[in-house]
Structure 1
Amino acid sequence: MEGDTFSGLGNGSSQLDGKVMQSFQKSFVQVQNILDQNRLLINEINQNHESKIPDNLSRNVGLIRELNNNIRRVVDLYSDLSTSFTKSMDASSEGDSSGVAFKSDGKAGHKRHRPGS
C-alpha cells in the first residue's frame, strides 16, 4: 500500500502534496490503533459476559461506553479523511478538462460524471 501513493492523479503531472499524504497516513494509523483497542475491549466484554460475575457485568457498562466512544472517533476520522480526500482531488484535478483520471496504479480511467454534480 505504501507504493500506492496516488502519484498519477489529476492530469498526470500533478501530485498530491506530501503533507496531505502524511495526514492520510496519520489518520489511518489512528484508525487502526482505535480498532485494535476495540478488539481488546470486545474480548474483555465477552469474557466478562461469559463469567456472569456481577462485578464483571457492571464493568461492561463502562467498557461498552468506551467502545461506543471509540467507534464515534473512527467515524469522525473517516469523515475528516473523506473531506480531505475530496478537497485534494478537487485541487489536483483543477484545470484537467480531459475527462481522464489516473488511478494509483498509473493506468488511465475515464471520469464518471454524475447528473446534477
Structure 2
Amino acid sequence: MFFSSQMEGDIFGNGSQLGVDGKVVQIFQKSFVQVQNILDQNRLLITEINQNQESKLHVNLTRNVGLIRELNNNVKRVVDLYGHLSNSFSKSMDASSETESGGTTRSDGKNRVRSG
C-alpha cells in the first residue's frame, strides 16, 4: 500500500502530537490510495500513448487523442484530490490549535479566548 502505517507515524507522529485523530488519518489514507491508483493508471496510459506514437499508424495516433484527454482528466483529478487533502489538513490543524489554545480563531486571524 502506498500510505503505510510507518509513513503515517512519520508524518503524523503518534497521532495526538498534531491533534490528528484516526478519522482524519483515514481520510488521508483513502485519498493517497486514490491518488496512487490514478498515477498507476496514468503510467499505463503514457505507455500506450508512447507505443501508439512509435507505431505511426493512423488508427493508433487517432486513439491517442482520447488517451491524452483521459490522461489530462486524471491529472486534474489528482490536483483536486491534493487540494482537498490540503484543505482537510488545514482544517484539522486549525481545529487542533483551537483545542490546544482553548480559544477560537476569528475571521481576522486573531484568537478569541473563551471565558469560563
Provide the rounded CA distance (Å) in 2 between the counterparts of 1:60 and 1:53: 11
1:39 aligns with 2:55: no
What are the ranges of 5 or more consecutive residues in structure 1 without an aligned counterpart? Answer: 10-14, 98-115
Q: Give 1:58's match in structure 2, choosing from 28, 51, 62.
A: 62
Whole-Å separation in 1 of the counterparts to 2:99 and 2:49: 53
TM-score by length of 2: 0.75
- In structure 1, how many angstroms separate the alpha carbons of the residues matched to 2:63 and 2:100? 56
Identity %: 76
The Cα of 1:95 is off from its aligned counterpart by 4.7
CA RMSD of aligned residues (A): 1.6
SS at match of 2:9: coil
- After TM superposition, the runs of 4+ consecutive aligned structure 1 residues lying more than 2 A away are 2-5
Pairing 1:1-117 to 2, within 5 Å after superposition: 1-4=7-10, 6=12, 7=15, 8-9=17-18, 15-96=19-100
Aligned positions, number:
94
1:81-116 superposed Cα distances (whole Å, 9 cap, x missing partner): 00000000010111545xxxxxxxxxxxxxxxxxx9
Q: Which amino acid aligns with 1:91?
A: A
Kindly indicate whether structure 1 or structure 2 has the higher relative contact order, using CA contacts under 8 Å at least 6 residues apart: 1
- Residue 2 of structure 1 and its aligned partner are, at CA, apart by 3.2
Going by fraction, where is helix more abundant, 1 or 2?
Answer: 2
Q: Which amino acid aligns with 2:81?
A: L
Please list every run of 5 or more consecutive structure 2 residues that lacks an aligned counterpart in the other structure: 1-6, 102-107, 110-116
**How far does residue 4 in structure 1 lie from its aligned partner after superposition?**
2.5
